[in-house]
Amino acid sequence: MRALILGFILLFSTELWSQEMGSFTDPRDGTVYKIVTIKTKLVSDTVDRVWLAQNLRYNSPHSECYKFEDVYCEGLGRLYDWHDAHEACPTGWHVPNFDEWSSLFKMYGGIRKAGKELKLDGISNFNAEFGGMGDTNNRFYSAGHLANYWDSESHHVSESSGGVVSIHYQLDDITHSAVSNKNRNSVRCVKDYEGYEK
């Protein structure tokens, strides 16, 4: 009986957490990205959302490498200001809004716990890359320690600010804050889906 119960638990866990990995080639520059399909629970349904499983690396006009060193772009992706981020995702993909981020976090224990599962080797296969950030004075901080991702909303504090989701290398909790939209942060694109509106 105990073995039967354990079998049901394992079956349920596999169904809940199993993610489908794949790849996507950006037609603009030929970059091949890992992608992951993550089940996301909405109010009354569970849907699939397809996310890049690597930071965006597209060389858009106002993006930069951390400390202007190409080696960081190769390993951690590029850093974008808020406006440039919205033009940088490939056609058919977009910068996630905070509701999309929140739905992702809820699948892995909420904003206080999800960081653990969104890091490399976490069960989500999201594989956060800790690209750090750049400020408006071209100073760079926290590569290897902080994954700062733009959300698509600008109205958190003012029209000159943008929302940032932060995953910390040494912490399981995730923070959400508003920063200058001229700062540079990483981008994770999510694929457009039926009902999505920009």
Whether residue 152 contacts residue 134, with contact meaning beta carbons closer than 8 Å, is answered with: no
- Please indicate, yes or no, if residue 7 is contained in any of the structural domains: no
- Please indicate, yes or no, if residue 4 is contained in any of the structural domains: no
- Please indicate, yes or no, if residue 13 is contained in any of the structural domains: no
**Number of domains forming the structure of the chain:** 1
Q: Which domain holds residue 187?
A: 19-191
- Please indicate, yes or no, if residue 1 is contained in any of the structural domains: no
Residue 103: helix, strand or coil by DSSP? helix
- Please indicate, yes or no, if residue 3 is contained in any of the structural domains: no
pTM > 0.75: yes
DSSP state of 4: H
Residues pairing with 165 in the sheet: 149, 176
- Please indicate, yes or no, if residue 107 is contained in any of the structural domains: yes
pLDDT 10s digits, 138-192: 999 999 999 999 999 865 556 789 999 999 999 999 999 999 999 999 999 999 9
pLDDT 10s digits, 41-63: 777 788 899 999 999 999 999 99
- Please indicate, yes or no, if residue 196 is contained in any of the structural domains: no
Q: How many whole angstroms separate alpha carbon 12 and alpha carbon 190?
A: 26
Closest CA to 81 of 64, 94, 95, 59: 64
- Please indicate, yes or no, if residue 129 is contained in any of the structural domains: yes
> Which whole-number Å values give the CA distances from 86 to 103, 128, 166, in the listed order?
20, 20, 18
pLDDT, mean of residues 92-105? 94
pLDDT, mean of residues 71-81? 97
